Amino acid sequence: MPDSTPLSKSATFAALPPVWPHDVLPTNAAAAGRTLVILDDDPTGTQTVRNIAVVTAWDVATLTAELSAAPACFYILTNSRSLTPAATRALHFELAANLRAASASTHRAFVVASRSDSTLRGHYPLETDTLAEILGPFDATILTPYFEAGGRYTLHDTHYVAEGDRLVPAAETPFARDAAFGYRSSHLPDYVEEKTAGRIRAADVATISLDLLRSCGPLAVAEKLLGLPRGSVCIVNAAAPRDIEVFAAATLAAESAGSRFLYRTAAGFVAARIGQSPQHALLAPTAFSLPKAHGGLTIVGSYVPKTTAQLSALLANSPVTPIELNVAALLDETRRQPTLTAALTALNAALAAGRDTVVYTSRQLISSTDAAASLAIGRRVSDALIHLVQNLAVTPRYLIAKGGITSSDTATLGLGVRRALVLGQALPGVPVWRLGPEAKFPGLGYVVFPGNVGSDTALADLVQRLGPV
């Protein structure tokens, strides 16, 4: 087992070879003929792109409409990270069959990316196994968890989470202790063996090294991909945007030569694949906040330590109206409805008075050692947040949803979103959607703020930026 000791980020990066010297993004952007369809297990996967559609349904008619326009890519929001394994399998089975039918009717080829968490949480290998069953066979399933804005790097086949100047092996972070999706291995070949219960051995997992990406370039990487054993798993090292851009260019070349890949990826790969630079300017607040006198709304449901620190900074440093939802009360049938009624009354009054407001779940995590029970608790709490959004009587000036499951449920179940446009980013790694005409608040700027992204003051900084003009 590789060393689990944290590394110095500055020293480690200084020792790496220089990145590939040639810009490959124009080549990636010019690629045509296949639509990249991203199955996103929560809305945060849209955090690297702009001017891209996201849909929340996957019936044949919806998928046909999207493929008919022959886009470079579009997202399907599945929110599967909040589901049980059985529900996840059923969803992916249905979605894959419908996608195949829509492709046949439109004659538009597609490539599938199963987008999940850059800290390795999610239904792997269940989702990729199910997709391969319906859409396969594939030459390889490729794992690319690199995500620059979140400080997620893969070096020497080991996945790291950056904390300041420390690179912490992912399995040594709180993310690895997730009740539903925990793991022990930071070394990705070992992670694959662990998650597949030994069906795929670590020794059989192929890798794309940084040396190959940085010293040899896209054609050499494509040659490596073309030589992968049929049905294999391959992990990709990456420590800079250029690394994932080179890899994306290699996948396009290998696919053009006849290979078929299934991608299990974090957000960084998507932008690279369609030729969008991650360095584009952040959106101005006027692009996604409504010019009204009403208050703005922030909803915080995520429990990861980063979110709790950001919430604390927001409450301490911003003139927001706080509304706390006691989770124990939400789980108690006798106290649930009175708690929600009081919160909704206070929320509508604050927004109508023009006060920026934050609704947040109490910070003591209530969970279970049983994965299914933990998901059920989370579902019950999320249903409470959905109830508040569904019954809002005042249009907020903006809406920030903090956490992947929170933002997904707020969009689909609370706001009734079926199609939205990803405008860009409010902060690095924090996407903004423009809601469609079918939504509860058409045209609203909806900020999908991942639970584990940004500095401790990032949420407070954003709320301050969106303050009344």
Reading the block at residue 417, the tokens are: 């979103």
| pTM for the model | 0.91
How far apart are alpha carbons 50 and 52 in whole angstroms? 5
How far apart are alpha carbons 176 and 161 in whole angstroms? 11
Q: Which residues in the chain come in under a pLDDT of 70?
A: 1-3, 278-281, 365-370, 375, 469
* Widest pairwise Cα distance in the chain: 65
44-53: per-residue pLDDT in tens? 889 899 999 9
Q: How far apart are the first and last CA of the chain?
A: 55
Element (H, E) at 255: helix 241-256
Write down the pLDDT at residue 281. Answer: 67
Where do the CATH 3.40.50.10840 domains begin and end in the chain?
Answer: 7-273
Reading the block at residue 467, the tokens are: 């303050």
Instruction: State whether residue 411 is helix, strand or coil.
Output: helix
Write down the pLDDT at residue 469. Answer: 59
Write down the pLDDT at residue 279. Answer: 57
Reading the block at residue 264, the tokens are: 């299990």
How far apart are alpha carbons 323 and 295 in whole angstroms? 14
C-alpha separations of 118 from 154, 284, 429 in Å:
10, 27, 12
Write down the pLDDT at residue 146. Answer: 97
> Which pairing describes strands 399-402 and 297-300: parallel, antiparallel, or unpaired?
parallel
Domain at 285-416+424-465, CATH homologous superfamily? Four-carbon acid sugar kinase, nucleotide binding domain (3.40.980.20)
Write down the pLDDT at residue 453. Answer: 85
| Amino acid at position 41, single letter | D
Task: Specify the CATH number of the domain 7-273.
Answer: 3.40.50.10840
Write down the pLDDT at residue 226. Answer: 98
Reading the block at residue 334, the tokens are: 């006798």
Where do the CATH 3.40.980.20 domains begin and end in the chain?
Answer: 285-416+424-465
